[in-house]
Structure 1
Amino acid sequence: MRHTLPIAPQFYVTAPQPCPYLEGRMERKLFTALQGESAEKLNDGLSKQGFRRSQNVLYRPSCADCTACLSARIKVADFKPSKSQKRVMSRNKDMRRRVTSPWATEEQFSLFRAYLDTRHADGGMADMDIFEFAAMVEETPVRSRVIEYTRDEVLTAVCLTDLLDDGLSMVYSFFAPDAAPSSPGMHIILDHIEIARETGLPYVYLGYWVPGSPKMDYKAKFSGLEVYRGGAWETMNNVADFEQETHPLSIDPIAEQVANISLPDTLSSKV
Protein backbone atom coordinates (compact mmCIF):
# COMPACT_ATOMS: atom_id res chain seq x y z
CA MET A 1 0.00 0.00 0.00
CA ARG A 2 1.38 3.40 -0.97
CA HIS A 3 1.18 6.17 1.64
CA THR A 4 1.23 9.86 0.78
CA LEU A 5 2.06 12.81 3.01
CA PRO A 6 -0.96 14.74 4.33
CA ILE A 7 -1.69 17.97 2.49
CA ALA A 8 -2.82 19.81 5.62
CA PRO A 9 -0.07 20.77 8.12
CA GLN A 10 -0.32 18.92 11.42
CA PHE A 11 0.56 21.04 14.46
CA TYR A 12 2.12 19.63 17.63
CA VAL A 13 3.40 20.96 20.96
CA THR A 14 6.70 20.06 22.60
CA ALA A 15 6.99 19.01 26.23
CA PRO A 16 7.95 21.85 28.62
CA GLN A 17 11.65 22.39 29.27
CA PRO A 18 13.72 25.10 30.97
CA CYS A 19 13.69 28.40 29.11
CA PRO A 20 17.13 29.36 27.72
CA TYR A 21 16.36 33.09 27.96
CA LEU A 22 14.54 33.77 31.23
CA GLU A 23 15.59 32.06 34.43
CA GLY A 24 12.92 30.09 36.24
CA ARG A 25 10.60 29.89 33.23
CA MET A 26 9.59 26.86 31.19
CA GLU A 27 9.33 26.95 27.41
CA ARG A 28 7.07 25.06 25.03
CA LYS A 29 6.92 25.23 21.22
CA LEU A 30 4.14 24.85 18.67
CA PHE A 31 5.55 23.24 15.54
CA THR A 32 4.75 21.64 12.21
CA ALA A 33 6.72 19.76 9.56
CA LEU A 34 7.97 21.68 6.53
CA GLN A 35 7.79 19.33 3.58
CA GLY A 36 6.33 18.69 0.15
CA GLU A 37 5.62 20.96 -2.79
CA SER A 38 4.04 23.67 -0.61
CA ALA A 39 7.05 24.01 1.72
CA GLU A 40 8.09 27.44 0.44
CA LYS A 41 4.56 28.84 0.59
CA LEU A 42 4.16 27.50 4.12
CA ASN A 43 7.51 28.96 5.19
CA ASP A 44 6.60 32.34 3.68
CA GLY A 45 3.13 32.36 5.24
CA LEU A 46 4.06 31.21 8.74
CA SER A 47 7.17 33.40 8.94
CA LYS A 48 4.81 36.36 8.65
CA GLN A 49 3.00 34.97 11.72
CA GLY A 50 5.96 34.64 14.05
CA PHE A 51 7.23 31.18 13.09
CA ARG A 52 10.89 30.27 12.55
CA ARG A 53 12.51 27.48 10.57
CA SER A 54 14.87 24.84 11.97
CA GLN A 55 15.80 22.33 9.23
CA ASN A 56 12.47 20.86 8.08
CA VAL A 57 10.40 22.17 11.00
CA LEU A 58 8.57 25.46 11.55
CA TYR A 59 8.03 26.51 15.17
CA ARG A 60 7.09 29.37 17.43
CA PRO A 61 6.97 29.67 21.24
CA SER A 62 3.70 28.59 22.83
CA CYS A 63 4.47 28.68 26.54
CA ALA A 64 1.75 27.95 29.08
CA ASP A 65 2.27 31.05 31.24
CA CYS A 66 4.46 33.48 29.30
CA THR A 67 4.44 35.37 25.99
CA ALA A 68 7.79 37.11 26.36
CA CYS A 69 9.27 35.79 23.09
CA LEU A 70 8.33 38.13 20.25
CA SER A 71 9.26 37.53 16.62
CA ALA A 72 11.21 40.55 15.34
CA ARG A 73 11.92 41.96 11.91
CA ILE A 74 13.45 45.15 10.52
CA LYS A 75 11.45 47.21 8.03
CA VAL A 76 14.23 48.11 5.61
CA ALA A 77 12.61 51.34 4.40
CA ASP A 78 12.46 52.66 7.98
CA PHE A 79 15.95 51.66 9.05
CA LYS A 80 18.51 54.36 9.72
CA PRO A 81 21.86 53.34 11.25
CA SER A 82 22.74 54.81 14.61
CA LYS A 83 26.13 56.37 15.29
CA SER A 84 27.37 53.14 16.90
CA GLN A 85 26.10 51.09 13.95
CA LYS A 86 27.91 53.41 11.54
CA ARG A 87 31.08 52.75 13.52
CA VAL A 88 30.49 48.99 13.17
CA MET A 89 30.12 49.46 9.41
CA SER A 90 33.38 51.39 9.32
CA ARG A 91 35.26 48.79 11.39
CA ASN A 92 34.12 46.05 9.02
CA LYS A 93 34.53 47.81 5.68
CA ASP A 94 37.28 45.32 4.79
CA MET A 95 34.89 42.37 5.29
CA ARG A 96 33.98 40.61 2.06
CA ARG A 97 30.65 38.86 1.45
CA ARG A 98 30.38 35.53 -0.39
CA VAL A 99 27.01 33.88 -1.08
CA THR A 100 26.94 30.11 -1.56
CA SER A 101 24.48 27.23 -1.74
CA PRO A 102 23.52 25.61 1.58
CA TRP A 103 26.42 23.18 1.81
CA ALA A 104 28.39 22.71 5.02
CA THR A 105 32.21 22.76 5.00
CA GLU A 106 34.85 21.75 7.52
CA GLU A 107 36.01 25.38 7.63
CA GLN A 108 32.51 26.51 8.61
CA PHE A 109 32.24 23.79 11.24
CA SER A 110 35.60 24.73 12.76
CA LEU A 111 34.41 28.34 13.07
CA PHE A 112 31.06 27.16 14.46
CA ARG A 113 32.77 25.04 17.15
CA ALA A 114 35.03 27.90 18.21
CA TYR A 115 32.00 30.19 18.43
CA LEU A 116 30.00 27.74 20.56
CA ASP A 117 32.90 26.86 22.85
CA THR A 118 33.55 30.53 23.55
CA ARG A 119 30.06 32.00 23.74
CA HIS A 120 27.53 29.18 24.21
CA ALA A 121 29.37 26.32 25.90
CA ASP A 122 26.31 25.44 27.99
CA GLY A 123 23.71 25.98 25.25
CA GLY A 124 21.52 23.50 23.44
CA MET A 125 23.94 23.21 20.51
CA ALA A 126 27.07 22.67 22.60
CA ASP A 127 27.41 18.99 21.70
CA MET A 128 26.72 19.26 17.96
CA ASP A 129 29.12 17.29 15.78
CA ILE A 130 29.96 17.88 12.13
CA PHE A 131 27.13 15.64 10.92
CA GLU A 132 24.53 17.53 12.97
CA PHE A 133 26.01 20.80 11.75
CA ALA A 134 25.74 19.61 8.15
CA ALA A 135 22.10 18.69 8.75
CA MET A 136 21.39 22.15 10.18
CA VAL A 137 22.80 23.78 7.05
CA GLU A 138 21.79 21.37 4.31
CA GLU A 139 18.42 19.96 5.38
CA THR A 140 16.29 22.74 3.97
CA PRO A 141 13.19 22.29 1.78
CA VAL A 142 13.09 26.01 0.96
CA ARG A 143 15.32 28.58 -0.77
CA SER A 144 18.31 29.00 1.52
CA ARG A 145 21.81 30.41 1.20
CA VAL A 146 24.98 30.35 3.25
CA ILE A 147 26.46 33.85 3.42
CA GLU A 148 30.14 33.82 4.35
CA TYR A 149 32.16 36.83 5.44
CA THR A 150 35.92 36.88 5.01
CA ARG A 151 38.65 39.25 6.14
CA ASP A 152 42.02 38.93 4.40
CA GLU A 153 40.62 35.78 2.78
CA VAL A 154 40.06 34.19 6.21
CA LEU A 155 36.53 33.00 7.06
CA THR A 156 35.35 35.27 9.85
CA ALA A 157 31.56 34.95 10.02
CA VAL A 158 28.73 32.87 8.55
CA CYS A 159 24.95 33.21 8.34
CA LEU A 160 22.42 30.63 7.17
CA THR A 161 19.68 32.66 5.51
CA ASP A 162 16.28 31.82 4.03
CA LEU A 163 14.88 33.76 1.09
CA LEU A 164 11.24 34.59 1.81
CA ASP A 165 8.83 36.26 -0.58
CA ASP A 166 8.97 39.44 1.51
CA GLY A 167 12.44 39.37 3.01
CA LEU A 168 15.49 37.60 4.35
CA SER A 169 15.20 35.35 7.38
CA MET A 170 18.42 34.98 9.39
CA VAL A 171 18.17 31.37 10.54
CA TYR A 172 21.50 31.16 12.39
CA SER A 173 24.77 33.10 12.42
CA PHE A 174 28.17 32.69 14.07
CA PHE A 175 31.60 34.29 13.93
CA ALA A 176 35.22 33.97 15.00
CA PRO A 177 35.58 34.74 18.73
CA ASP A 178 38.73 36.80 18.17
CA ALA A 179 36.77 39.05 15.80
CA ALA A 180 34.33 40.08 18.55
CA PRO A 181 35.85 43.58 19.07
CA SER A 182 34.73 44.56 15.55
CA SER A 183 31.13 43.42 16.30
CA PRO A 184 30.78 40.92 13.43
CA GLY A 185 27.34 39.82 14.63
CA MET A 186 26.05 43.37 14.25
CA HIS A 187 27.81 43.63 10.88
CA ILE A 188 25.99 40.52 9.60
CA ILE A 189 22.61 42.10 10.38
CA LEU A 190 23.60 45.44 8.85
CA ASP A 191 24.80 43.66 5.72
CA HIS A 192 21.54 41.68 5.47
CA ILE A 193 19.68 45.00 5.55
CA GLU A 194 21.85 46.10 2.64
CA ILE A 195 21.23 42.85 0.74
CA ALA A 196 17.47 43.26 1.25
CA ARG A 197 17.68 46.84 0.00
CA GLU A 198 19.69 45.76 -3.06
CA THR A 199 17.16 43.05 -3.94
CA GLY A 200 14.03 45.07 -3.20
CA LEU A 201 12.90 42.98 -0.22
CA PRO A 202 11.07 44.94 2.50
CA TYR A 203 12.09 42.99 5.64
CA VAL A 204 14.93 41.28 7.47
CA TYR A 205 13.66 38.70 9.97
CA LEU A 206 15.88 38.47 13.07
CA GLY A 207 14.27 35.64 15.03
CA TYR A 208 12.95 36.21 18.54
CA TRP A 209 13.44 39.23 20.75
CA VAL A 210 12.91 38.57 24.45
CA PRO A 211 12.46 41.66 26.65
CA GLY A 212 14.36 41.11 29.88
CA SER A 213 16.93 38.79 28.33
CA PRO A 214 20.42 40.37 28.04
CA LYS A 215 21.19 37.97 25.17
CA MET A 216 18.52 39.67 23.07
CA ASP A 217 19.08 43.34 23.92
CA TYR A 218 20.97 44.02 20.68
CA LYS A 219 17.86 43.45 18.54
CA ALA A 220 16.06 46.36 20.17
CA LYS A 221 18.84 48.71 19.00
CA PHE A 222 17.73 48.67 15.37
CA SER A 223 15.46 51.41 14.07
CA GLY A 224 12.53 50.25 11.97
CA LEU A 225 12.04 47.23 14.26
CA GLU A 226 8.66 45.50 14.24
CA VAL A 227 7.52 42.74 16.60
CA TYR A 228 4.71 40.23 16.17
CA ARG A 229 2.22 40.43 19.03
CA GLY A 230 -1.44 39.55 19.29
CA GLY A 231 -1.63 38.38 15.69
CA ALA A 232 -0.17 41.53 14.12
CA TRP A 233 3.15 43.29 13.52
CA GLU A 234 3.71 46.41 15.63
CA THR A 235 6.39 49.06 15.34
CA MET A 236 8.59 49.12 18.41
CA ASN A 237 9.05 52.72 19.45
CA ASN A 238 9.56 52.09 23.16
CA VAL A 239 10.94 48.91 24.73
CA ALA A 240 8.86 49.52 27.86
CA ASP A 241 5.67 49.15 25.82
CA PHE A 242 6.39 45.47 25.31
CA GLU A 243 6.13 44.09 28.80
CA GLN A 244 6.13 40.35 29.39
CA GLU A 245 2.67 38.88 29.78
CA THR A 246 2.93 36.10 32.33
CA HIS A 247 -0.60 35.47 33.56
CA PRO A 248 -1.98 32.11 32.31
CA LEU A 249 -5.34 33.70 31.45
CA SER A 250 -3.62 36.06 28.98
CA ILE A 251 -2.56 33.13 26.79
CA ASP A 252 -4.86 31.50 24.24
CA PRO A 253 -5.33 27.72 24.41
CA ILE A 254 -3.37 25.73 21.83
CA ALA A 255 -6.48 24.90 19.81
CA GLU A 256 -7.31 28.62 19.47
CA GLN A 257 -3.74 29.44 18.51
CA VAL A 258 -3.84 26.87 15.71
CA ALA A 259 -7.30 27.97 14.58
CA ASN A 260 -6.00 31.53 14.18
CA ILE A 261 -3.09 30.55 11.93
CA SER A 262 -3.60 31.66 8.32
CA LEU A 263 -2.37 29.10 5.80
CA PRO A 264 -1.77 29.30 2.03
CA ASP A 265 -4.91 28.77 -0.02
CA THR A 266 -3.85 25.26 -1.02
CA LEU A 267 -3.59 24.11 2.61
CA SER A 268 -5.97 23.71 5.52
CA SER A 269 -5.14 23.41 9.22
CA LYS A 270 -5.57 20.37 11.44
CA VAL A 271 -4.72 20.16 15.12
Structure 2
Amino acid sequence: MSDDYKFGITQPFTCNYLPDEEERLLVAVDERLHNTDQYSWLMENGFRRSGDQIYRPHCINCKACKSIRVIPELFSLSKSQKRLLNKNKGYVLKISNEPKEGYYTLYENYINTIHHDGSMFPATIAQYETFTKSSVSEQLFIETWDEDILISVAVTDVLSNALSAVYTFYHPDYRTKGLGVFSILNQIKFTKLHKKEYLYLGYQIDSCQKMNYKNKYYPYQELIENRWITTNK
Protein backbone atom coordinates (compact mmCIF):
# COMPACT_ATOMS: atom_id res chain seq x y z
CA MET A 1 0.00 0.00 0.00
CA SER A 2 1.08 3.55 -0.65
CA ASP A 3 2.95 5.47 2.06
CA ASP A 4 1.13 8.61 0.92
CA TYR A 5 -2.09 7.65 2.70
CA LYS A 6 -2.69 7.95 6.43
CA PHE A 7 -3.60 4.92 8.54
CA GLY A 8 -4.12 4.58 12.26
CA ILE A 9 -3.72 1.63 14.62
CA THR A 10 -6.11 1.06 17.51
CA GLN A 11 -5.13 0.01 20.99
CA PRO A 12 -5.50 -3.76 21.59
CA PHE A 13 -8.87 -4.90 22.91
CA THR A 14 -10.52 -8.25 23.66
CA CYS A 15 -11.43 -10.05 20.45
CA ASN A 16 -15.17 -10.45 19.83
CA TYR A 17 -14.65 -13.84 18.15
CA LEU A 18 -11.69 -15.41 19.95
CA PRO A 19 -11.98 -14.27 23.58
CA ASP A 20 -8.54 -15.62 24.48
CA GLU A 21 -6.97 -13.28 21.92
CA GLU A 22 -6.51 -9.51 21.71
CA GLU A 23 -7.67 -7.66 18.63
CA ARG A 24 -6.06 -4.61 17.03
CA LEU A 25 -7.21 -2.78 13.89
CA LEU A 26 -5.49 -0.89 11.11
CA VAL A 27 -7.86 1.94 10.17
CA ALA A 28 -7.92 3.93 6.92
CA VAL A 29 -8.30 7.42 8.40
CA ASP A 30 -7.37 9.32 5.23
CA GLU A 31 -10.52 10.84 3.71
CA ARG A 32 -9.04 10.37 0.23
CA LEU A 33 -9.62 6.65 0.72
CA HIS A 34 -13.32 7.07 1.46
CA ASN A 35 -14.73 6.64 -2.03
CA THR A 36 -15.72 3.67 -4.16
CA ASP A 37 -12.49 3.34 -6.16
CA GLN A 38 -10.16 3.56 -3.17
CA TYR A 39 -12.43 1.44 -0.99
CA SER A 40 -12.34 -1.21 -3.74
CA TRP A 41 -8.54 -1.09 -3.63
CA LEU A 42 -8.58 -1.41 0.15
CA MET A 43 -10.89 -4.43 -0.08
CA GLU A 44 -8.32 -6.00 -2.42
CA ASN A 45 -5.89 -5.57 0.48
CA GLY A 46 -8.05 -7.19 3.13
CA PHE A 47 -9.99 -4.23 4.50
CA ARG A 48 -13.70 -4.01 5.31
CA ARG A 49 -16.03 -1.33 6.61
CA SER A 50 -18.21 -0.74 9.65
CA GLY A 51 -20.28 2.34 8.93
CA ASP A 52 -17.77 4.66 7.30
CA GLN A 53 -14.80 3.27 9.23
CA ILE A 54 -12.62 1.15 6.93
CA TYR A 55 -10.39 -1.31 8.77
CA ARG A 56 -8.60 -4.62 8.72
CA PRO A 57 -7.25 -6.81 11.55
CA HIS A 58 -3.71 -5.88 12.58
CA CYS A 59 -3.25 -8.18 15.54
CA ILE A 60 0.10 -8.77 17.21
CA ASN A 61 -0.04 -12.50 17.92
CA CYS A 62 -2.93 -13.80 15.82
CA LYS A 63 -3.62 -14.22 12.09
CA ALA A 64 -6.88 -16.13 12.35
CA CYS A 65 -8.94 -13.64 10.29
CA LYS A 66 -8.65 -14.24 6.56
CA SER A 67 -10.45 -12.08 4.03
CA ILE A 68 -12.43 -14.31 1.69
CA ARG A 69 -14.10 -13.77 -1.68
CA VAL A 70 -16.05 -15.92 -4.14
CA ILE A 71 -15.49 -16.03 -7.90
CA PRO A 72 -19.10 -15.99 -9.19
CA GLU A 73 -18.24 -16.64 -12.83
CA LEU A 74 -16.71 -19.99 -11.83
CA PHE A 75 -19.03 -20.75 -8.91
CA SER A 76 -20.59 -24.21 -8.79
CA LEU A 77 -23.53 -25.11 -6.56
CA SER A 78 -23.10 -27.98 -4.13
CA LYS A 79 -25.84 -30.58 -3.72
CA SER A 80 -27.00 -29.03 -0.45
CA GLN A 81 -27.07 -25.54 -1.99
CA LYS A 82 -29.19 -26.85 -4.88
CA ARG A 83 -31.61 -28.40 -2.37
CA LEU A 84 -31.81 -25.13 -0.46
CA LEU A 85 -32.62 -23.13 -3.60
CA ASN A 86 -35.29 -25.64 -4.50
CA LYS A 87 -36.77 -25.49 -0.99
CA ASN A 88 -36.96 -21.68 -1.11
CA LYS A 89 -38.00 -21.31 -4.76
CA GLY A 90 -41.39 -19.89 -3.79
CA TYR A 91 -39.85 -16.76 -2.25
CA VAL A 92 -39.71 -13.50 -4.21
CA LEU A 93 -36.58 -11.36 -4.45
CA LYS A 94 -36.73 -7.57 -4.68
CA ILE A 95 -33.94 -5.01 -4.91
CA SER A 96 -33.82 -1.61 -3.23
CA ASN A 97 -31.09 1.02 -3.56
CA GLU A 98 -31.80 2.45 -0.12
CA PRO A 99 -32.95 1.11 3.26
CA LYS A 100 -36.69 1.05 3.85
CA GLU A 101 -38.66 1.94 6.95
CA GLY A 102 -39.56 -1.66 7.77
CA TYR A 103 -35.99 -2.91 7.82
CA TYR A 104 -35.20 -1.87 11.36
CA THR A 105 -38.14 -3.79 12.84
CA LEU A 106 -36.88 -6.92 11.10
CA TYR A 107 -33.30 -6.25 12.24
CA GLU A 108 -34.37 -5.63 15.85
CA ASN A 109 -36.38 -8.85 15.94
CA TYR A 110 -33.45 -10.78 14.45
CA ILE A 111 -30.84 -9.49 16.92
CA ASN A 112 -33.02 -9.65 20.02
CA THR A 113 -34.23 -13.18 19.24
CA ILE A 114 -31.41 -15.01 17.50
CA HIS A 115 -28.42 -13.10 18.92
CA HIS A 116 -29.73 -12.31 22.39
CA ASP A 117 -26.60 -13.90 23.88
CA GLY A 118 -24.16 -11.99 21.67
CA SER A 119 -22.25 -8.72 21.76
CA MET A 120 -24.78 -6.98 19.49
CA PHE A 121 -27.68 -7.46 21.93
CA PRO A 122 -29.80 -5.43 22.39
CA ALA A 123 -30.38 -4.02 18.92
CA THR A 124 -29.98 -0.26 18.49
CA ILE A 125 -30.59 2.18 15.64
CA ALA A 126 -26.95 3.32 15.77
CA GLN A 127 -25.70 -0.24 15.37
CA TYR A 128 -28.18 -0.95 12.58
CA GLU A 129 -26.98 2.11 10.68
CA THR A 130 -23.38 0.85 10.64
CA PHE A 131 -24.61 -1.76 8.16
CA THR A 132 -27.25 0.16 6.25
CA LYS A 133 -25.63 3.57 5.77
CA SER A 134 -22.37 4.25 3.96
CA SER A 135 -20.80 7.21 2.20
CA VAL A 136 -17.91 5.15 0.79
CA SER A 137 -19.92 3.09 -1.71
CA GLU A 138 -23.32 2.54 -3.23
CA GLN A 139 -25.45 -0.20 -1.74
CA LEU A 140 -27.96 -2.82 -2.76
CA PHE A 141 -30.54 -4.25 -0.39
CA ILE A 142 -31.63 -7.70 -1.54
CA GLU A 143 -35.03 -8.40 -0.03
CA THR A 144 -36.61 -11.84 0.30
CA TRP A 145 -40.41 -11.94 0.52
CA ASP A 146 -42.80 -14.72 1.48
CA GLU A 147 -45.91 -13.31 -0.21
CA ASP A 148 -46.47 -10.03 1.70
CA ILE A 149 -44.00 -10.77 4.53
CA LEU A 150 -40.45 -9.36 4.37
CA ILE A 151 -38.36 -12.23 5.73
CA SER A 152 -34.78 -11.25 4.90
CA VAL A 153 -32.55 -8.33 3.88
CA ALA A 154 -29.01 -8.79 2.57
CA VAL A 155 -27.08 -5.51 2.78
CA THR A 156 -24.56 -5.40 -0.08
CA ASP A 157 -21.90 -2.82 -1.03
CA VAL A 158 -21.23 -2.10 -4.71
CA LEU A 159 -17.50 -1.82 -5.47
CA SER A 160 -15.65 -1.10 -8.70
CA ASN A 161 -15.06 -4.74 -9.56
CA ALA A 162 -17.01 -6.59 -6.88
CA LEU A 163 -19.94 -6.74 -4.51
CA SER A 164 -19.39 -7.06 -0.77
CA ALA A 165 -21.76 -8.91 1.56
CA VAL A 166 -22.03 -6.57 4.55
CA TYR A 167 -24.74 -8.12 6.74
CA THR A 168 -27.88 -10.24 6.44
CA PHE A 169 -30.74 -10.24 8.91
CA TYR A 170 -33.95 -12.26 8.73
CA HIS A 171 -37.23 -13.10 10.42
CA PRO A 172 -36.61 -15.49 13.34
CA ASP A 173 -39.67 -17.59 12.38
CA TYR A 174 -37.77 -18.58 9.22
CA ARG A 175 -34.50 -19.59 10.84
CA THR A 176 -34.83 -23.20 9.60
CA LYS A 177 -34.99 -22.01 5.98
CA GLY A 178 -31.24 -21.38 5.66
CA LEU A 179 -31.74 -17.72 4.78
CA GLY A 180 -28.11 -16.84 5.49
CA VAL A 181 -26.89 -19.29 2.84
CA PHE A 182 -29.82 -18.37 0.60
CA SER A 183 -28.79 -14.71 0.75
CA ILE A 184 -25.17 -15.48 -0.17
CA LEU A 185 -26.32 -17.56 -3.14
CA ASN A 186 -28.47 -14.65 -4.30
CA GLN A 187 -25.59 -12.22 -3.82
CA ILE A 188 -23.44 -14.47 -5.99
CA LYS A 189 -26.16 -14.36 -8.63
CA PHE A 190 -26.42 -10.57 -8.51
CA THR A 191 -22.64 -10.23 -8.65
CA LYS A 192 -22.74 -12.04 -11.99
CA LEU A 193 -25.69 -9.95 -13.18
CA HIS A 194 -23.75 -6.78 -12.38
CA LYS A 195 -20.73 -8.21 -14.25
CA LYS A 196 -18.50 -7.94 -11.20
CA GLU A 197 -15.51 -10.20 -10.67
CA TYR A 198 -15.84 -11.08 -6.98
CA LEU A 199 -18.22 -11.29 -4.05
CA TYR A 200 -16.45 -10.45 -0.78
CA LEU A 201 -17.81 -12.33 2.25
CA GLY A 202 -15.76 -10.73 5.02
CA TYR A 203 -13.42 -12.60 7.36
CA GLN A 204 -13.25 -16.37 7.68
CA ILE A 205 -12.14 -17.53 11.15
CA ASP A 206 -11.75 -21.31 11.09
CA SER A 207 -11.69 -21.73 14.88
CA CYS A 208 -14.81 -19.61 15.51
CA GLN A 209 -18.16 -21.33 14.94
CA LYS A 210 -19.93 -18.05 14.15
CA MET A 211 -17.35 -17.09 11.53
CA ASN A 212 -16.29 -20.33 9.83
CA TYR A 213 -19.15 -20.71 7.33
CA LYS A 214 -17.80 -18.65 4.44
CA ASN A 215 -15.58 -21.26 2.77
CA LYS A 216 -18.47 -23.33 1.39
CA TYR A 217 -18.77 -21.50 -1.94
CA TYR A 218 -16.34 -22.87 -4.51
CA PRO A 219 -14.06 -21.67 -5.92
CA TYR A 220 -13.12 -19.05 -3.34
CA GLN A 221 -10.00 -17.06 -2.55
CA GLU A 222 -8.43 -16.27 0.83
CA LEU A 223 -5.97 -13.46 1.42
CA ILE A 224 -2.93 -15.13 2.99
CA GLU A 225 0.31 -13.19 3.51
CA ASN A 226 -1.05 -10.48 1.17
CA ARG A 227 -1.66 -12.96 -1.67
CA TRP A 228 -5.05 -14.21 -2.86
CA ILE A 229 -4.94 -18.03 -2.80
CA THR A 230 -7.63 -19.92 -4.74
CA THR A 231 -9.28 -23.04 -3.34
CA ASN A 232 -11.30 -25.30 -5.63
CA LYS A 233 -13.53 -28.20 -4.61
**Same fold by TM-score greater than 0.5:** yes
In the alignment, the residues of structure 2 paired with residue 35 and residue 89 of structure 1 have an alpha-carbon distance, to the nearest angstrom, of: 41
Distance 1:133 1:228 in 2: 28
Tell me which amino acid in the other structure corresponds to 2:197: P
Could you report, residue by residue, the CA deviation over 1:42-72 in whole angstroms, capped at 9, with x for unpaired residues? 1110011111011211111111100010000
Number of aligned positions between the proteins: 230
The one-letter amino acid paired with 1:109 is Y
The offset of 1:217, in angstroms, is 2.7
Q: For residues 54 and 131 of structure 1, what CA distance do their matches in structure 2 show? A: 11
In the TM superposition, residue 192 of structure 1 has moved relative to its aligned partner by 0.8
Gaps of 5+ in 1: 1-7, 239-271
Do residues 109 (structure 1) and 104 (structure 2) align?
yes
Percent sequence identity is 31
Q: How well do the aligned residues superpose, as a CA RMSD in angstroms?
A: 2.0
What residue in structure 1 maps to residue 19 of structure 2? 23
Which has the larger share of strand?
2
Name the counterpart of 2:151: 156
Q: 2:87 corresponds to which letter in structure 1? A: R
| AA matched with 1:197 | K
**Greater Rg by CA:** 1
From 90, 96, 103, give the equivalent of 1:100: 96
* CA deviation after TM superposition for structure 1 residue 130, in Å: 2.4
Cα pair 2:40 2:160 within 8 Å, conserved: yes
Which residues of 2 match residues 81-92 of structure 1 at below 5 A?
81-92=77-88
With the length of structure 1 as denominator, give the TM-score of the two structures: 0.79
Q: Normalising to structure 2: TM-score of the pair? A: 0.91
Aligned counterparts of 1:104 and 1:28: Cα–Cα separation in 2: 34
Please say which of residues 218-227 and 66-75 is displaced more in the overlay: 218-227
Contact 1:168/1:203, CA 8 A, preserved across alignment: yes
Cα distance per residue 1:82-135 (max 9 Å; x no partner): 100001111111222221123352x21111112112232243322342244245
Name whichever of 198-207 and 137-146 sits farther off: 137-146
Give a deviation string over 1:158-206, Cα, whole Å, max 9, x none. 1111111111101111111111111000000001111112222121110
Per-residue CA deviation, residues 187-240 of structure 1 (Å, 9 max, x unaligned), is 0000111111222212111000011111123212211111011111101358xx
Contact 1:97 1:147 in 2 (8 A): yes
The residue aligned with 1:176 is: 171
Greater RCO structure (CA 8 Å; 6+ sep): 1
Amino acid of the residue matched to residue 124 of structure 1? S
Higher mean displacement: 125-134 or 55-64: 125-134
Is 1:143 matched with 2:108? no
Q: What is the aligned partner in structure 2 of residue 56 from structure 1?
A: 52
- State the Cα distance separating 1:38 from its structure 2 match: 5.8
Per the alignment, residue 264 of structure 1 pairs with none
* Residues 70, 229 of structure 1: 8 Å contact kept: yes
Pairs within 5 Å for 1:73-84? 73-84=69-80
